[in-house]
Chains A and B, each alone.
Chain A
Amino acid sequence: MTGAGTELGLLGRLFRTADPTPARAVSRAYRVGRGLAGGAAARRFVLLSDSADAASSAGSEVGERERGLVFAVAGRVLDLALTPEEPGSLRASGMVLSRSGQPVPGGEVVFRHPTGTRRGELDAGGGFRIRAVPAGPVSVLLCPRTGGRAVTDWFVC
């Protein structure tokens, strides 16, 4: 090998041969184009905190089993915990609160994943619990009894 182009070219061919974009992944990306407007109409939650970030920066073991995320949108806070249940699935639990910290009772929390949804009702205290959420890309849609819907961006759990 005599030049940077040659070396990068060889590396590129090696990566493309040994580690190409999987065909099934490309197919899945194509399929996304068939349902483009899934959550576009809802307001977007903003991620306020993720225990993965906090544990990493602190060097602690907090959150080893459970991952906590907090999302917010005007008038609503979604406090979410994801706990590994079985290989390939998680249990989701948490609360939906108003900005002033009051529970938001009634309504539904929907975990969207690429092949379907998992749903849970909000109880009188604004809590929810959903089992068998598939590990992988998910997005959480909040459908409260009163007020507008809100949705998180897709993230991997």
Chain B
Amino acid sequence: MATVTEPGHSCGTSVLVRRVVGGDERAWRDLVDRNGGVVWAAARAYSATRADAEDVWQATWLSLAENLHRIRDAEALPGWLVTTARRESLRLARARRRESPAGLDGLLVETADNGGDPESAALRSVLAARLARAFSQLSGRCQRLLRVMAVAPEASYEQISRALGVPRGSIGPKKQRCLRTLRQRMLALGGVEEPEVAL
């Protein structure tokens, strides 16, 4: 997914929105490509299952399609998307009475059953398992923050703030604290050396 924070893209978003409102389907696909990473990260961070996250993802884009002509400031679009995804994820989680774990343990189990391709083999590596286990031991807040920052490294602090519903000024310190805790968990689980098999 391309960045949504580079100056060129920021300008491009306004143009894209105008083209989409004018019925340009290609421009719509570009909007999805540019913002999809952080929308998925927000939906997944607050959804119990991938199926729930997919429903939220789709509802978010459907809502955008019908509200796009109401968005006066195109620069606000990425924030609108992640806020919508987060709110709908939380509402769905409450409606279905599920917690919203963002951990990786279950995913690694699923992936381990997918056969012997190189990526699956890599995921079964010691480091991947250790990283996943350390991550799953973090608080829910840390898991959500690191997931969004890891999956959408191009996201601005403003977007992350909206995606997680936390003050923008707190993101940097929280990120450092969460990473420090992750390192400690990794150490406790057996070390933080470089992976023998690249992820």
On whether the beta carbons of B194 and A4 are closer than 8 Å, the reply is no
B residues in contact with A33, CB < 8 Å: 20, 25, 28-29, 32, 65
Q: Which residues of B contact A36 (CB under 8 A)?
A: 20, 23, 28, 65-66, 68
Which of A22-30, A71-79, A99-107, A120-128 sits within the interface?
A22-30
The chain B residue with its CB closest to the CB of A6 is B194
Cβ-defined contact, B69 with A29, below 8 A = no
Contact yes or no, B150 A21, CB < 8 A: no
Bound-state Cα–Cα, A26 to B39, Å: 11
Q: Is residue B164 within 8 Å, beta carbon to beta carbon, of the partner chain?
A: no
Interface residue B141 (Cβ < 8 Å from any Cβ of A): no
Note all chain A residues with C-beta closer than 8 A to B149: 8
Report the nearest B residue to A114, measured CB to CB.
B58
Q: Which B residues are in CB contact (< 8 Å) with A32?
A: 28, 58, 61-62, 64-65
Question: B162 an interface residue at 8 Å Cβ cutoff?
Answer: no
**B54, B67, B95, B179 interface centre (most CB from chain A within 10 Å):** B95
By secondary structure, the B interface counts as helix
Q: Does B48 contact A (CB under 8 A)?
A: no
Q: Tell yes or no: B158 within 8 A of A by CB.
A: no
Which A97-137 residues have a C-beta within 8 angstroms of B? Answer: 114, 135-137
Chain B residues contacting A12 (CB-CB under 8 Å) are 150-151, 153
A10 CB-CB contact with B under 8 Å: yes
**Contacting residues, chain A, for B179 (C-beta < 8 A):** 4, 7-8
Q: Which residues does chain B contribute within 8 Å of A29, judged by CB atoms? A: 32, 36, 57-58, 61
Residues in B with CB closer than 8 Å to A48 are none
A93 located at the interface, meaning its Cβ lies under 8 Å from any Cβ of chain B in the complex: no
List CB contacts (< 8 Å) of A10-54 with chain B.
Answer: 10-19, 21-22, 24-26, 28-30, 32-40, 50, 52-53
B37 in contact (CB, < 8 A): yes
- Asked whether A15 lies within 8 Å of B62 as measured between CB atoms, the reply is no
Closest to A1 in B: B192
B5 within 8 A of A: no
Could you say which of A10, A21, A39 has the most chain B C-beta atoms within 10 Å of its C-beta?
A21
6 residue pairs, one from A and one from B, having the closest CB atoms: A33-B28, A52-B95, A11-B150, A12-B150, A137-B59, A52-B94
A interface residue numbers (CB < 8 A to B) = 1, 4, 7-19, 21-22, 24-26, 28-30, 32-40, 50, 52-53, 55-56, 63-64, 67, 114, 135-137, 139, 151, 153-157
Chain B interface residues (CB < 8 Å from chain A): 20, 23, 25, 28-29, 32, 36-37, 40-41, 44, 50, 52, 54-69, 88, 91-92, 94-95, 97, 104, 107-108, 110-111, 119, 122-123, 127-128, 131-132, 135, 146-147, 149-151, 153, 175-176, 179, 182-183, 186, 192-195, 199
